[in-house]
Amino acid sequence: MRNLFRILAITIATVLVLYVNAQDTARYTGKTLVNVDYHHGQLSPAIGVHNIQTMRANRSNTTNNWTYNHAPMLAYWNNTYYLEFLSNPVGEHVPPGRTVLQTSKDGYHWTDPVVLFPPYRIPDGFVKKGEKDTAHNTDAVMHQRIGFYTAKSKRLFALAYYGIALGKGDDPNDGNGIGRVIREIKADGTYGPIYFLRYNHDFSEKNTDYPFFKTSKDKGLVAACEEILSTPLLMQQMVEEADRNDPLIPLKMDFKALSYYHLPDGRAVGFWKYALTSITKDEGKTWQYSPVRGPGFVNANAKIWAQRTSDGKYVTVYNPSEFRWPLALSVSDDGLNYKNLLLVNGEITSLRYGGAYKSYGPQYVRGIQEMDGTPPDGNVWVTYSMNKEDIWISRIPVPVRDKATEHVNDVFGSMKDGDELANWNIYSPLWCNVSIEKNGNGKALVLKDSDPFDFAKAERIFPVSKRLTAEFVITPKQNSYGGLEIELVDAKGTPCLRLVFDSTGNILSKAGYRNRAVGKYEAGKPVSFKIDLNTSTRFFTVSINGKNPINNLCFAPVESVERIVFRTGIARRFPDADTPTDQMYDLPNPNAKDKEAVYSIDYLKTAAGK
């Protein structure tokens, strides 16, 4: 115990010395911190982020009904986005396991998952050294920190790892698994054969089902494998699963989930879980110091993604808390000093299916590593799992912005195709779609909702205002089901007023504990709104369809407002910091789908109030 305290003291002292003296250590210098009592952490969003669900777990799906889905990876190649993730029937490290693939041409519309690496049978009788559990009719599980590699020959390869978890608490990434596999993804949408790239110590060509890559007659595949094995920054990402004495992995300590980028001087900055960081001058062969937590960064046992952006700056995307929410970003001008903290995704959908180690929140974020493609829009694209159940992707506009300089004049019918949502933040699940659609007035922003467990949301940021006038037109397609809430909120996401289309044809205003009726609506008929707000007096008026303004008192005080929110459901408070982890129960009717409610927004205009 005395030695333990000595090691702890030395570690703390080392961190403090690095904090004071190591000018080359990546650090967070901003003052913003999250409040985990809120899913959004009370962070202001980066303007124009689009959060898109690519896969929604559904146990009633006859072809893809596994409900543990996690660790997604991303690449861009052949004018296509490629997204791979691992999947188990119910819970983490509970076999069988497989890795599946989705593709998209635009990042918004995704194919159904297809199995890329199928379940793998562990040889009967296998026992890990020093353990008692024995494999019998048992499949492997998958665990990987790197999913793609684009070879120098411009061919794209997918990577995965077969690990072994034989008993409760057994760790598939303990160095005692089967090995890492590789497979080519071809431009015509087909796939090459599966090969083993590297074995663990108990396995070889003699006792495995796929051939070793060196036996292939495909010289391009062999060359790609050799490239991977000779690249320390790639091999370092495999440290957890590899043999503990693997000579190809330079830093053999258990630092997890490396991401990295290069500085203009050729050095590479690395980030691991817990926001550990170090710098290498020789492409990962050696590191300047043992990875330490970047001063100022807050991050727990979840991945942190880091990359250089198309405007020559740098970004980290991660969960800046001891929980796996919210998902946020920070920007650096020089790749070492990170100066702000902005929201990417601040929602946590309902965890519909219980399972082992299914943590709440948007987590395990990964982007496109340096050799794996550059999307043509120049934006940052990242992928992550929600609750280790559903798979999401986010488009983060570059340059990253958080303040609006002009008021809103978004008349969708007169805007250029493709530009309508450039300044909108959207949260768009598969069953709660947010999109621009054509209608009788030209075009409109449409929110659809048929998901009992989630909602569609669209937000628009405007200049910080103490007095504000907001005008918009909404056409509900129904008045006997569904619901839409409209809020004006401050920089921390605190709403001061809320208007509601309820499920009985009434328009309500939140007034303290109770809602106040302020109008009626009919299916298919446009409803125009004009809101005049004064945050100093806390009063606002709302005029519906040009009628006399109705006076209202804000239900919560705010100093100012900076964005408007349209949401097809109520704000969520569950889970919170005190919610027990590891939800082992399914929600009632988790496969259910509601009748679709639709709300169409023709325009939004804001102006400084008088």
pLDDT of 450-485, one tens digit each?
Answer: 999 999 999 999 999 999 999 999 999 999 999 999
pLDDT of 68 higher than 70: yes
Average pLDDT over residues 177-198: 98
The verdict on 197 and 338 lying in the same domain is: yes
**Residue 504 near residue 480 (C-beta atoms within 8 A):** yes
pLDDT in tens, 373-419: 999 999 999 999 999 999 999 999 999 999 999 999 999 999 999 99
pLDDT of 109 higher than 50: yes
Asked whether residue 402 is assigned to any structural domain, the reply reads no
Asked whether residue 401 is assigned to any structural domain, the reply reads no
Number of domains in the chain: 2
Which residue, 250, 75, 40, 199, is CA-closest to 146? 75
Quote the pTM value.
0.95
Where residue 247 sits, what CATH number does that domain have? 2.120.10.10
The verdict on 480 and 589 lying in the same domain is: yes
pLDDT of 104 higher than 50: yes
Asked whether residue 403 is assigned to any structural domain, the reply reads no
The verdict on 78 and 171 lying in the same domain is: yes
Contacts of 447 (CB under 8 A, 6+ apart): 432, 433, 434, 456, 457, 458, 484, 566, 568, 598, 599, 601
The verdict on 317 and 455 lying in the same domain is: no
Unique residue bearing structure tokens 């990876």: 73
Where residue 550 sits, what CATH number does that domain have? 2.60.120.560
Average pLDDT over residues 154-170: 95
How does the average pLDDT of the chain come out, rounded? 95
In sequence order, what are the beta bridge partners of 606?
470
pLDDT of 487 higher than 60: yes
What confidence score (pLDDT) does residue 64 get?
A: 87
Domain with 554, as residue range(s), is: 409-608
Unique residue bearing structure tokens 């298919």: 524
Asked whether residue 404 is assigned to any structural domain, the reply reads no
Rounded to whole angstroms, how far apart are CA atoms 579 and 91? 19
**Residue 227 near residue 235 (C-beta atoms within 8 A):** no
The verdict on 384 and 440 lying in the same domain is: no
Average pLDDT over residues 521-537: 98
Asked whether residue 162 is assigned to any structural domain, the reply reads yes
pLDDT in tens, 302-339: 999 999 999 999 999 999 999 999 999 999 999 999 99
What confidence score (pLDDT) does residue 9 get?
A: 43
Confidence category of residue 609, pLDDT binned at 50, 70, 90: confident
Which residue, 319, 324, 326, is CA-closest to 346? 326
What confidence score (pLDDT) does residue 413 get?
A: 95
Asked whether residue 319 is assigned to any structural domain, the reply reads yes
N-term to C-term CA, the chain: 68
pLDDT of 22 higher than 60: no
Percentage of the chain lying above the pLDDT 90 cut: 93
Confidence category of residue 551, pLDDT binned at 50, 70, 90: very high
Average pLDDT over residues 562-572: 98
* Residue 536, helix vs strand vs coil: coil
**Residue 365 near residue 383 (C-beta atoms within 8 A):** yes
The verdict on 389 and 418 lying in the same domain is: no
**Residue 156 near residue 148 (C-beta atoms within 8 A):** yes
The verdict on 433 and 390 lying in the same domain is: no
The verdict on 438 and 392 lying in the same domain is: no
What confidence score (pLDDT) does residue 254 get?
A: 86
Single-letter amino acid code for the residue at 216: S
pLDDT of 80 higher than 60: yes
Residue 3 is classified by DSSP as: H
Confidence category of residue 23, pLDDT binned at 50, 70, 90: low
Domain boundary among 345, 365, 396: 396
Contacts of 123 (CB under 8 A, 6+ apart): 135, 207
Beta-sheet pairing, 424-428 with 50-55: parallel
The verdict on 376 and 423 lying in the same domain is: no
In sequence order, what are the beta bridge partners of 366?
383
The verdict on 389 and 417 lying in the same domain is: no
In the numeric block, which tokens belong to residue 608? Answer: 């400084």
Q: Rounded to 5 degrees, what are φ and ψ at 275?
A: 55, 35
Domain boundary among 396, 420, 449: 396
Domain boundary among 396, 429, 452: 396
The verdict on 328 and 461 lying in the same domain is: no
The verdict on 175 and 291 lying in the same domain is: yes
Residues counted in the chain: 610
Asked whether residue 332 is assigned to any structural domain, the reply reads yes
Quickly count: other Cβ atoms within 10 Å of residue 477's Cβ: 14
Asked whether residue 529 is assigned to any structural domain, the reply reads yes
Confidence category of residue 227, pLDDT binned at 50, 70, 90: very high
Cis ω on the peptide bond leading into residue 376 (within 30° of 0)?
A: no
